[in-house]
């Protein structure tokens, strides 16, 4: 085994059950695991190995982006509401994807996420062989799922998803997993939903699905089947503790109860929901019902950023404004949603800095206007800056599975200039196909 990686003299925001914040603390990593969390002045801190001096930095668990789409066309045709956007931009682009374009799009997407402190993505897209290669190369932790719909919609099939599972599930020392993905219920028959659950159970894997994202979706499904989307997902067995339901903006009380009964996990994506004019999810009611709710950016096409710090801030502010209640969604709660809740939703041994957990760790530079002023020893002041002032540019180091992927702002596994150039070329090539 290689020498331990020792992150010393930082402010260690553990996100453990006790909420410990260790000023001048040390995190020790051996292999892919955290093997030591030491307070300032501890005598048993290793003095040899690969040392990162974290003085003037906060040390956090990596953020978890619970609803994610690799994106090729950020900022393109993003002035439209959801249905028009899907029909005129999103679906044409992903139908025109070739494997090379998907590969470079994934590397560009994952690299931005790593720069923003995201160490895990729950990515529903197409061309999963290309996504798997990109995730393996860059080093991110990735849960991948296909964009499955009924055959007439010319997206992915359950057979595609099973092939991707056989090719990629468990690869890269377990960093890559494959779930069964369902695009959304307007494009999925009840028969497909039943078969999707059957495949997920056969493969012993999870499900990633869009549910109740827009009022139009709710009305379409209700008119077609006489049931609301989450009710239909319940009837067909989709819901369950292994299911990540994205958006859930328009859940009725009955549907919240169904989510609670089945222990279905929720990804809250407030920024994209607002940008697309889809509304504000009833997150306070979901949390009151005991649901696990994590955070996602959704897609850069309907967000324009993969920065989960922005999502944390916006997620707090939009609910405070909507409910006229400044007590809602305080900074520690938002950071917990972006770390602990995401890990719980995916069943991952990450989301907090504790001995024995996987070593997904990020360092945040505090010597910056975003963190000025900062009262020494005041954890609440630090939490406030992390959620309401910080952003991706404050990230200096990103570690996934014990491997240093971003070292003082420089990628260790990819040529960043090449990735950006090839992603641009790929976008232009695909754009020509759909015009």
Residue 422 is assigned to a structural domain of this protein: no
d(CA 145, CA 167): 12
Element (H, E) at 158: helix 158-168
Assigned domain for 428 exists: no
More confident residue, 90 or 271: 271
- Asked if residue 393 and residue 278 are part of one domain, the reply reads no
Give the separation between CA 426 and CA 285, rounded to whole angstroms: 42
Q: In this predicted structure, what is the pLDDT of residue 300?
A: 86
Helix (H, G, I), strand (E, B) or coil at 22: strand
41 and 142 in a common domain: no
CA 190 to chain CA centroid, nearest Å: 27
Domain endpoint, select from 346, 376, 396:
346
| Boundaries of domain holding 118 | 63-346
Q: Within a domain: residue 211?
A: yes
- Pair 197, 223 in one domain: yes
Q: Among 12-26, 80-94, 166-180, whose mean pLDDT is lowest?
A: 80-94
Q: What is the pLDDT of residues 237-262, one digit of tens each?
A: 999 999 999 999 999 999 999 999 99
For residue 420, is it within any domain? Answer: no
User: Does residue 369 have a pLDDT over 70?
Assistant: yes
What is the pLDDT at residue 77? 76
CA–CA distance, 117 with 133 (Å, rounded to integer)? 21
What's the CA angle centered on 338, arms 206 and 131, to 5 degrees? 50
Residues 280 and 150 in one domain: yes
Contact predicate 193/237, CB 8 Å: yes
Same domain, 201 and 288: yes
d(CA 105, CA 172) in angstroms, rounded, equals 20
Backbone angles phi, psi at 199, to 5 degrees: -65, -45
- Give the pLDDT of residue 215: 96
State the pLDDT confidence band at 201, using cuts at 50, 70 and 90.
very high
The reply to whether 51 and 151 lie within a common domain is no
Residues 97 and 232 reside in one and the same domain: yes
Q: Rounded CA gap, 63 and 348, in Å?
A: 12
Report the CATH number at residue 257.
Answer: 3.20.20.140
The structure tokens listed for 217 are 């979706």
360 and 272 share one domain: no
Tell me the three state secondary structure of residue 45. Answer: coil
Half-sphere exposure of 361 (CA within 13 A, CB side): 35
Given 346, 371, 394, the domain boundary residue is: 346
User: Count of H helices and E strands in the chain?
Assistant: 16, 18
- If we measure between CA atoms, which residue out of 82, 141, 57, 149 comes closest to residue 303? 82
**Could you tell me which residues come within 8 angstroms of residue 61 by beta carbon, excluding any fewer than 6 positions away?**
13, 14, 15, 339, 340, 350, 351, 352, 353, 360, 361, 362
pLDDT(70) > 90: yes
Q: What is the pLDDT of residue 170?
A: 98
Number of domains comprising the chain: 2
Find the radius of gyration of the CA atoms of the chain. 21
pLDDT in tens, 94-151: 999 999 999 999 999 999 999 999 999 999 999 999 999 999 999 999 999 999 999 9
Q: Could you tell me if 39 and 22 are in contact, meaning their C-beta atoms sit under 8 angstroms apart?
A: yes
Classify residue 179: in a domain, yes or no: yes
Q: How far is CA 83 from CA 99, 215, 220, 277, in A?
A: 26, 11, 12, 11
Task: Tell me the C-alpha distance between 192 and 194, whole Å.
Answer: 5
Give CA–CA dist 12/23, Å, rounded: 6
Same domain? For 295 and 385 the reply is no
Same domain membership, residue 374 and residue 230? no
Please give the pLDDT value at position 141: 98
The reply to whether 433 falls in a domain is no
Three-state DSSP state, 18? coil
Predicted confidence at residue 1, as pLDDT, reads 55
The answer on 70 and 55 residing in a single domain is: no
Cβ atoms of residues 300 and 108 within 8 Å:
no
Nearest CA to 363 among 405, 410, 396, 406? 396
Q: Write down the pLDDT at residue 111.
A: 98
The candidate with the shortest Cα–Cα distance to 231, out of 205, 207, 206, 259, is 259
Cα 183 to the center of its chain, rounded Å: 17
Question: What's the mean pLDDT in 44-71?
Answer: 95
Of 346, 375, 391, the last residue of a domain is 346
In a domain, 117, yes or no: yes
The answer to whether 294 touches 341, Cβ cutoff 8 Å, is yes
Convert the pLDDT of each residue in 373-401 to its tens digit.
999 999 999 999 999 999 999 999 999 99
Average pLDDT of 147-171?
Answer: 98
In this structure, the chain runs to a length of 435
Q: Would residue 145 count as lying in a domain?
A: yes
Considering the domain architecture, whether residues 57 and 71 belong to the same structural domain is answered as: no
Least confident interval from 76-85, 106-115, 416-425? 76-85
pTM of structure: 0.97
Query: Residue 79: pLDDT band by 50, 70, 90 thresholds?
Result: confident
Residue 386 belongs to a domain with what CATH number?
Answer: 2.30.40.10
């Amino acid at each position: 085994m290689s020498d331990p990686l020792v992150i010393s003299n930082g402010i260690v925001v553990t996100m453990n059950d006790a909420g410990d914040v260790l000023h001048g603390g040390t995190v020790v990593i051996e292999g892919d695991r955290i093997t030591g969390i030491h307070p300032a002045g501890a005598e048993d801190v290793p003095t040899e190995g690969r040392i990162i001096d974290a003085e003037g930095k906060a040390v956090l668990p990596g953020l978890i982006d619970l609803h994610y789409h690799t994106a090729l066309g950020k900022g393109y045709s993003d002035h439209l509401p959801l249905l028009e956007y899907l029909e005129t931009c999103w679906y044409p682009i992903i139908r025109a994807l070739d494997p090379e374009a998907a590969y470079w799009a994934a590397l560009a997407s994952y690299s931005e996420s790593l720069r923003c402190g995201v160490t895990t993505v729950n990515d529903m897209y197409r061309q999963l062989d290309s996504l798997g290669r990109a995730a393996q190369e860059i080093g991110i932790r990735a849960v991948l799922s296909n964009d499955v719909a009924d055959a007439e919609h010319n997206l992915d099939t359950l057979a595609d998803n099973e092939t991707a599972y056989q090719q990629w599930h468990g690869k890269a020392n377990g960093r890559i997993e494959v779930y069964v993905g369902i695009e959304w219920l307007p494009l999925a028959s009840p028969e497909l939903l039943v078969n999707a659950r059957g495949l997920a159970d056969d493969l012993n894997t999870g499900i990633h699905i869009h549910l109740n994202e827009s009022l139009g979706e709710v009305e379409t499904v209700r008119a077609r089947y006489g049931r609301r989307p989450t009710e239909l997902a319940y009837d067909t067995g989709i819901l369950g503790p292994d299911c990540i339901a994205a958006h859930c903006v328009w859940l009725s009380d009955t549907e919240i109860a169904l989510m609670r009964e089945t222990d279905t996990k929720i990804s809250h994506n407030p920024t994209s929901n607002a940008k697309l004019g889809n509304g504000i999810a009833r997150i306070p009611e979901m949390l009151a019902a005991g649901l696990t709710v994590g955070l996602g950016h959704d897609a850069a096409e309907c967000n324009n950023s993969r920065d989960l710090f922005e999502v944390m801030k916006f997620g707090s502010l939009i609910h405070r404004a909507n409910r006229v209640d400044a007590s809602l969604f305080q900074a520690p709660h938002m950071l917990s949603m972006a770390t602990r809740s995401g890990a719980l939703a995916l069943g991952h041994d990450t989301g907090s800095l504790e001995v024995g957990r996987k070593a997904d760790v990020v360092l945040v530079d505090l010597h910056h206007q975003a963190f000025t002023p900062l009262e020494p020893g005041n954890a609440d002041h630090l939490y406030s800056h992390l959620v309401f002032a910080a952003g991706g540019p404050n990230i200096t180091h990103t570690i996934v599975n014990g491997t240093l992927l971003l070292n003082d702002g420089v990628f260790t596994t990819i040529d960043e200039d090449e990735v950006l150039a090839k992603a641009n070329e790929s976008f232009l090539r695909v754009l020509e196909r759909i015009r």
